[in-house]
Amino acid sequence: MSAGEYCNRDVVVVAKSETVQEAINLMRQYHVGTVVVVEETGDKPKPVGILTDRDILIEILAEDVELDAVTIGDVMSYELVTVVDDSPLLDAVSIMKDKGVRRLPVVNNTGGLEGILSVDDVIDLLAEELSNIAKLISKEQHQEQVKRN
């Protein structure tokens, strides 16, 4: 299981030069809490930062800053943590835990954006796997009962 297998490939991206209001509009339109800030280079855009709904709330709204007065580049997180798409999923989860991030852009070997892995994606996967284990146990119990009768 790799990070690339389980990441969401539909990533909402923005440029540093766009306004925060534009980012908010995209977050609302696509019902996401994060936009990945990219620079267009080569085949795939390269992630250079991230802007979350929390960044907007704490850095802009709480400070009463005019939304159209600042660009995404003014407030985005520049300390971007990424993972390569063929990295094991558990390594990606470890990185998220160690760095304290809930969303992790997934890149290819040349740094191009491939997707984004979120804690929610991992929880969905784990829930599905736990459900499969529960079904296995139930099936095993049923088979035992059939053998006894």
Q: How high is the mean pLDDT of the chain?
A: 89
Sheet arrangement for strand 13-14: 13-14, 34-39, 46-52
Q: Decide if pLDDT at 145 tops 80.
A: no
- Residue whose entry in the numeric block shows the structure tokens 């139930």: 138
DSSP string, 14-67: E-TTSBHHHHHHHHHHHT-SEEEEEE--SSSPEEEEEEEHHHIIIIIITTT--G
**Is residue 128 a part of any domain in this protein?**
no
The domain of 65 spans: 3-118
When divided into structural domains, the chain yields a total of 1
d(CA 11, CA 124): 18
**Is residue 124 a part of any domain in this protein?**
no
CA-based nearest residue to 73, from 23, 27, 28: 23
Q: What is the CATH number of the domain that holds 76?
A: 3.10.580.10
**Is residue 96 a part of any domain in this protein?**
yes
- The string of pLDDT tens digits covering residues 24-57 is 999 999 999 999 999 988 788 999 999 999 888 8
**Is residue 125 a part of any domain in this protein?**
no
Q: Decide if pLDDT at 86 tops 90.
A: yes
**Is residue 113 a part of any domain in this protein?**
yes
**Is residue 143 a part of any domain in this protein?**
no
CA distances 24 to 87, 117, 121, Å, are: 31, 20, 22
**Is residue 93 a part of any domain in this protein?**
yes
Report yes or no: 6 and 117 within 8 Å, Cβ to Cβ. yes
pLDDT recorded at residue 64: 78
pLDDT recorded at residue 32: 94
Q: Decide if pLDDT at 143 tops 80.
A: no
For the full predicted model, state whether its pTM sits above 0.95. no
